[in-house]
Amino acid sequence: MMFLRSLAVICLSATLATPSLAQDRRVPTSPTELKLSYAPIVQRVQPAVVNVYAAKVVQNRNPLLDDPIFRRFFGVPGQQPEQMQRSLGSGVMVDPSGLVVTNNHVIEGADQVKISLSDKREFEAEIVLKDSRTDLAVLRIKDGKEKFPTLDFANSDELLVGDVVLAIGNPFGVGQTVTHGIISALARTQVGITDYQFFIQTDAAINPGNSGGALVDMTGRLAGVNTAIFSRSGGSQGIGFAIPANMVRVVVASAKSGGKAVKRPWLGARLQAVTPEIAETLGLRVPSGALVANVTASSPAARAGLKLSDLIVAIDGHTVDDPNGFDYRFATRPLGGTSQIDVQRAGKTVKLTVPLETAPDTGRDEIVLTSRSPFQGAKVANISPAVADELRIDADTRGVVVTELAEGSTAASVGFQKGDIILGVNNQKIAKTGDLEKATRETARIWRITVVRGGQQINVTLGG
């Protein structure tokens, strides 16, 4: 199984280095300097990079069992054969007690997780926290009775295009491997891997099995967690992407605090990209910034004075090129404080102070539907501001939304997707999770369902 995702497109934006930071870097000045080795850095950081083995039991289902004629004449076998699916990735030790960060897709759905250290010792591990929005997960070594080597976090905001970096992981399961390259680009936002798109691009060779491994700088600190490659062949083609250390730090901090989910600041506004046509309308020289398309009443954005059609151009001194860039910067701010946002309004720059607080999550009432129906195996919730923020839908939306689908469930096989909003079932209006649970308990030969997906209403008819 391939654990690093294969991407089909590459974005062509890059972050320019500032002269003051660039002065600390220099090129080799003599052949002697070219003989310098990365070995001291590798020896220091390699013990903190681990291999992650995940396994889950799956049932091999014969497709003939779905045929009612086959079932009628041959019956249904009592026990279906099971198979163990295994996956391999890498991870980084970030706390001496045995806390490991890796990619969420490496351990997604796993029943068993093992950690293998660079000295070949293996430990059972438990999943502490999973965050699909960043594709990060935090594991803890079970029964760890020693202090493990760790990596310190770099400030990924200080990285520059051209900086030398090392990638450490377990490509193709051959064993721990070190590759080197440079940072090819920063702030890649049109990659389409996770909700928070703000990736470090590197040409250090990264291959399947490197997922969750370390991208380290020349001081031996963690610059990012390798997560994906652009590839048409399945192997490295010199374009890899890593989650910046500043985002990894937020997820790890949530795990250390005992949280089961990452707590992030909530803006309470929907942003849209500035197209060339919009830029021309606004009189902008270049299409840059994040345009405010909607503001939720009583949200932090509303209380800060953010208005419809405001153009966000900076946050806490960092330029905002697009909504993805703003989302990343805002999501990495510490809760409890404030952020300074610069907006362009009627040709003038306005500075706003936004409080950093989580979205309200009252009335979620999340349940798993178990009755025999097309919804069996779906987890649904009422749309609170927190749910809307997690699923990237307008906070003003009302109704019941699918938040999770059990693998192999009826709901998944029917075609429901995470984020689907259920409006009606068999002519019954669905306003809260209790309505949907009641509707699924009723016997029906035909199910008429009204769903909103991606802003479009869809009417579906399914046989019972």
- Between vectors from CA 195 to CA 291 and to CA 7, what angle results, nearest 5°? 110
Name the residue among 328, 329, 42, 364 with its Cα closest to residue 193.
328
How many CB atoms lie under 10 A from the CB of residue 338?
A: 16
Is 235 marked within a binding site?
A: no
For residues 359 and 285, give the distance between their C-alpha atoms in angstroms, rounded to a whole number: 35
CA distances from 222 to 92, 158, 243, 407 (A): 9, 12, 11, 34
Is 95 marked within a binding site?
A: no
- Between vectors from CA 215 to CA 210 and to CA 216, what angle results, nearest 5°? 145
Helix-strand-coil split of the chain, %, nearest 5:
20, 35, 45
- Between vectors from CA 441 to CA 440 and to CA 443, what angle results, nearest 5°? 90
For residues 311 and 459, give the distance between their C-alpha atoms in angstroms, rounded to a whole number: 37
For residues 120 and 173, give the distance between their C-alpha atoms in angstroms, rounded to a whole number: 13
Residue 238 has, within 13 A of its CA and on its CB side, a CA count of 2
How many CB atoms lie under 10 A from the CB of residue 35?
A: 8
Residue whose structure tokens are 């049109």: 190
Distance of CA 33 to the CA centre of its chain: 40
Is 209 marked within a binding site?
A: yes
Residues classed as catalytic: 105, 135, 211
CA distances from 171 to 90, 179, 235, 355, 379 (A): 9, 10, 10, 43, 35
Q: Are 297 and 269 in contact (CB under 8 A)?
A: no
Is 20 marked within a binding site?
A: no
What does the buried/exposed string (b/e) look like for 423-449 if buried means 16 or more CB atoms within 10 Å of the residue's CB? bbbeeeebebbebbbebbeeeeeebeb
Q: Which amino acid is at 254?
A: S
Question: Residue 33 corresponds to which tokens in the numbers above?
Answer: 């300097």
| Phi/psi of residue 367, nearest 5 degrees | -140, 160
Is 135 marked within a binding site?
A: yes
- Residue ranges at the known binding site for substrate: 105, 135, 209-211
Please enumerate, by residue number, every residue annotated as part of a binding site.
Answer: 105, 135, 209-211
